[in-house]
Chain A
Amino acid sequence: MSSAAALAAGESPVAPAGGSASRRRRRGAIWEPSALLFVGPSVLLAVAFLILPMLGSFYYSTRKVSPLSGTSTPRGLDNYTTMLSDPTFLRALLNTALFTVITVPLSMGLGLALAVLMNSVLPWRKVWRTVVYLPLVISGVSVGLIGTFLYNEVIGVVNKLLLALGANGGIPWQSNGFWAFTSVVLVTIWIRVGFSMIIYLAALQAVPGDLYEAASLEGANGWQQFRHITFPLVGPATFFLIIMNVIYSFQVFDTIFVLTNGGPGNSTEVLGTWAYKVAFGPTRDQGYGAAIGVVIFVLTLIFTIVQWRANRNRDVVA
């Protein structure tokens, strides 16, 4: 069973298949004490360093935190109502949605196309493959820094390249909101496309070759083979990638923090950078920052659950 399908099916491999017999058996099943040894450390770590802090954030999101002493006073839901009248938050929310809607399909589509390419008869396949996913290992800070060098509108490499190619002047990558956003998207695609490609490649390699042979004998052309064999068969991988990529894009931080720091104006501000700036920037409003963090978490969770249910239904229908 593939992971994505498991993620989709959720409890299926764990829970009994249904029926009173199995339910009875489960109740009576001996539970293995060694499970405590195997599962205990992971649960302990996750509860202590992820779940408790998340609950802590829910708590702080209703409070006003003094930045130096760390003491806090209740603030009710004020932090949440503030959001509605905070233009930067609304802009960041819009930008985050836009960024996710653009980068996720783009990096997955390109990733799938590249995976199909790398899975075909192709000399020096390993070389191309390596080059495509190499950017994946580079840290967000490094990527952002390389990005500032490429997209500096005065001394940057990209504008120099455009000029050398005969363009009539550089692109305002840093002073124009649209172009700044574009540079962030381009850099993100650059680092993320390799991830989609690897996962799709793994999925494609599991597709039995004789399916294509059969289709080929039937006279299906390349596109038809892709449309009717490849695409459906990588469905679980697509599901997995949507979830992973949406989490990434929705919570993007490092790259934007270093590349544009949200500017010019607020045109590349996203929820991740804004939550950080609010909590750790000059205003140091950790309560409000926590509230924005809670919003990021809740939105991600809702999206995942919706995806998961939709995918489970699809499985059921099939």
Chain B
Amino acid sequence: MAVTTSQARAIGRPTERSTTARGPMSRRSRSRVAVVVRVVVSVVVSVIMAFPLWVMVVTAVSGQSVFSSQLDLWPGSFTLSNFARVFQAWPVTAWFSNSVTVTALTTIISVVVSVMAGYGFAKLRFPLKTPLFLLLLSTMMIPTQAILVPQFRLVNAMGLVGTFWAVIIPGAAATFGIFLARQFMLAIPNELIEAAKIDGAGPVRIFWSIVLPLSKPLLAVLTLLSLMYQWNDFLWPLIVLRDPSLYTLPIGLQFLQGQYQTDYGALMAMTLITVGPLVVLFLVFQRWFVQGFATSGIR
């Protein structure tokens, strides 16, 4: 590990300022002050971070005009009229269910593909393994805008344009997930796999009954990442889902920006509809997300 030398140095080196002896009392009161300071900092940071979201929610549920010159940081009059307006004028329900469908299917496919590939790259022997993996890694550097035109032609040649599959199938090519899965699988002890082999289990059985059960945190983090990515994807769906009845929420949102311009009541209502489900999902499953990252070895 890169750090061991400097780390050893750090611990081994006596520091000059350490000479002052600290009594237990002063240390305790000191740490109490420290906790208070930390809480204050946390509150300030949280207020700043939550502020834009708060403004969004307040504007979405407020009846009052956002153009009034005073600052309105509290819903003056609670109303759902902004939502009603958006729902009546545009097929928001359809956009919502489109988003759910596309996101769910893409996530299922990409998680399955990533986990399998991760296992293959981590535990199986086959020719050209390293070059193939590096090739996959390099695709993480491809910007979406750079491949829009050729990708469109390909999907068009496959006859998928104007269907959800045009989003789902290319969306399943998520190399970050493969990378993450491989990292996780590398940490699974080889002895487990060798033992199963000796018992006569084939690679598929090993994958199914040994590797997968150990990979729940990985599955959780891959699922959440994929949900996040697909739910929010904008540019590619915009190009291939040309029919407004097939739009997903982010495209619908951009559409409404054009229609409503600075009618922020309506726009923030639509933003809330777009952002809300993911926020809720995230709040419910956040434990998996943090722990998933911790155990998939990204550190």
Residues of A close to B173: CB separation below 8 A = 42, 45-46, 48-50
Q: Which of A73-81, A99-107, A124-132 contacts B (4 or more CB under 8 A)?
A: A124-132
Asked if B175 and A233 sit within 8 Å, CB to CB, the answer is: no
The residue that A293 contacts in the complex, of B55, B143, B275, with Cβ under 8 A, is B143
Say whether A184 faces chain B, with CB atoms less than 8 Å apart: no
Residues of A close to B140: CB separation below 8 A = 247
Residues of A close to B150: CB separation below 8 A = 52-57, 59-60, 290
Say whether B241 faces chain A, with CB atoms less than 8 Å apart: no
- Residue-wise, chain A 185-222 has the 8 Å CB interface mask toward B (1 for contact) of 00000100100001101110110000100110011110
Asked if B6 and A38 sit within 8 Å, CB to CB, the answer is: no
Of chain B, the residue at the smallest CB distance from A8 is B2
Measured CA separation A251–B178 after assembly (Å): 21
Measured CA separation A57–B149 after assembly (Å): 8
The residue that A38 contacts in the complex, of B14, B15, B207, with Cβ under 8 A, is B207
- A145-200 residues at the B interface, CB under 8 angstroms: 145-147, 149-150, 152, 155, 157, 160-161, 163-164, 190, 193, 198-199
Say whether A14 faces chain B, with CB atoms less than 8 Å apart: yes
Total A residues in contact with B, Cβ cutoff 8 Å: 126
Say whether B235 faces chain A, with CB atoms less than 8 Å apart: yes
Measured CA separation A164–B297 after assembly (Å): 47
The residue that B145 contacts in the complex, of A42, A146, A296, A315, with Cβ under 8 A, is A296
B124 to chain A, nearest CB (A): 4
Asked if A251 and B143 sit within 8 Å, CB to CB, the answer is: yes
The residue that A2 contacts in the complex, of B145, B207, B282, B297, with Cβ under 8 A, is B297
Asked if B53 and A300 sit within 8 Å, CB to CB, the answer is: no
Asked if B186 and A297 sit within 8 Å, CB to CB, the answer is: no
Of chain A, the residue at the smallest CB distance from B206 is A34
Q: Is the interface of B mostly helix, strand, loop or mixed?
A: helix
Say whether A21 faces chain B, with CB atoms less than 8 Å apart: no
Asked if B299 and A4 sit within 8 Å, CB to CB, the answer is: yes
Of chain B, the residue at the smallest CB distance from A206 is B299
- Residue-wise, chain A 219-237 has the 8 Å CB interface mask toward B (1 for contact) of 1110010011100111111
Asked if B290 and A201 sit within 8 Å, CB to CB, the answer is: yes
Residues of B close to A272: CB separation below 8 A = 143, 145
Asked if A3 and B7 sit within 8 Å, CB to CB, the answer is: no
Q: Which of B146, B149, B278 has the most CB of A within 10 A?
A: B146
Say whether A51 faces chain B, with CB atoms less than 8 Å apart: yes
B253 to chain A, nearest CB (A): 5
B58 to chain A, nearest CB (A): 10
A144 to chain B, nearest CB (A): 9
Residues of A close to B289: CB separation below 8 A = 198
Asked if A6 and B66 sit within 8 Å, CB to CB, the answer is: no
Say whether B96 faces chain A, with CB atoms less than 8 Å apart: no
Say whether A1 faces chain B, with CB atoms less than 8 Å apart: yes
- B40-93 residues at the A interface, CB under 8 angstroms: 41-43, 45-46, 49-50, 52-53, 55-56, 59, 66-67, 69-71
Residues of B within 8 A of A (CB): 1-7, 9-11, 13-15, 17-19, 31, 34-35, 38-39, 41-43, 45-46, 49-50, 52-53, 55-56, 59, 66-67, 69-71, 113-114, 116-117, 119-122, 124-127, 129-130, 132-151, 153-154, 169-170, 172-173, 175, 178-180, 183, 186-187, 202-204, 207, 228, 231-232, 234-235, 250, 253-254, 257, 262, 264, 267-268, 271, 274-275, 278-279, 282-283, 286, 289-290, 293-294, 296-299
Given contact pairs A140-B234, A141-B234, enumerate 16 new A-B contacts (beta carbons under 8 Å).
Answer: A1-B186, A3-B297, A32-B124, A49-B169, A122-B42, A138-B53, A139-B231, A139-B232, A146-B52, A157-B55, A160-B71, A190-B49, A289-B145, A289-B149, A296-B143, A318-B3
